[in-house]
Amino acid sequence: MNQLEQLKRCTTVVADTGNFKQLAQFAPRDATTNPSLILKAVQQAEYAPLLAEVVAAHPGLPLPQVIDRVLVRFGLEILKVVPGRVSTEVDARLSFDRAATVQRARDIMALYAAAGVGRERVLIKVAATWEGIQAAAELEREGIHCNLTLLFAFCQAVACGDAGVQLISPFVGRIYDWAKKQAGNSWDEAAMAGVNDPGVRSVAQIFQYYKHFGIHTEVMGASFRNVGQILALAGCDLLTISPELLAQLQSREEPVAVQLSAQAARQQPQTRVRYDEAAFRYALNADAMATEKLAEGIRAFAADAEKLDALVLAQRA
């Protein structure tokens, strides 16, 4: 078997793309999207008509509602290909507004429901700010399941688990990027590869903590830079992988060893941690990497959301 087939034996493979026409060749169970991926897709000739069709069908709607319909349209197309769930993201510009995030998530889920898609097939992506986590806790109580994204710090993962969210997406590659940049010329790529990769270590720590304490929140490693990072997390609940890296896994046949085990995690000593708002904000502030990457990620997603807004407005002109 190739490495992708082997990986699927111990981990649920998720495709990280808005390009739904690429999905079938990799047969992932789920798929994730974000504003950057959707923006990239609608700028391609094969997807541009989809954007134009959605915009033309809703000439009088406020811009945010049109954007949600574009996102959901991509989600619906993805769900025709994958048997599981699609993740659709709330506007990153609402990352610090709990009430607005909750309402936008309800609106998105209502669009899926109107198209005949059950709640079990949709995850609402929300940035793992304190406000985002509290919004997700409220949504989960309503039966709307959430995927907490832009997760870099252990305190974010702990708060998400305590909030009862369905799934978290710790960002392996962006943690790796930050550590490599900080190290500069002293960075040793070979020594920091595989299980020693700082992003891999972060996900492994979260996975072990959750499994030890029986926290039901699913762990989905995300934002990979290379196949080595993926294979070092074999056994994680889920891994969301770009089409480029899925293709690499599909082309290789070296053995894949399971690296993470829930059974082993339950046997390792752990200390239970709790965060109220003040403690959460202090812990996040104390983590320079997480503070920087969370802010950077929100800014980048917000910028791409603005670009998507501009494309819609251009279609209306």
Burial (Cβ within 10 Å: 0-12, 13-18, ≥19) of residue 287: middle
CA end-to-end distance (rounded Å), the chain:
52
Is residue 142 helix, strand or coil?
coil
Block residue for tokens 């369905």: 166
Is residue 298 helix, strand or coil?
helix
Neighbours of 125 (CB within 10 A): 27
Candidate list 125, 180, 211, 293, residue with the active-site label: 125
* 103 Cβ contact partners less than 8 Å away, ≥ 6 residues apart: none
Rounded Cα distance between 143 and 297, Å, is 27
- 245 closest CA partner among 221, 227, 223: 227
Block residue for tokens 């995927």: 147
Residue 40 annotated among the catalytic residues of the structure? no
As annotated, the active-site residues are: 125
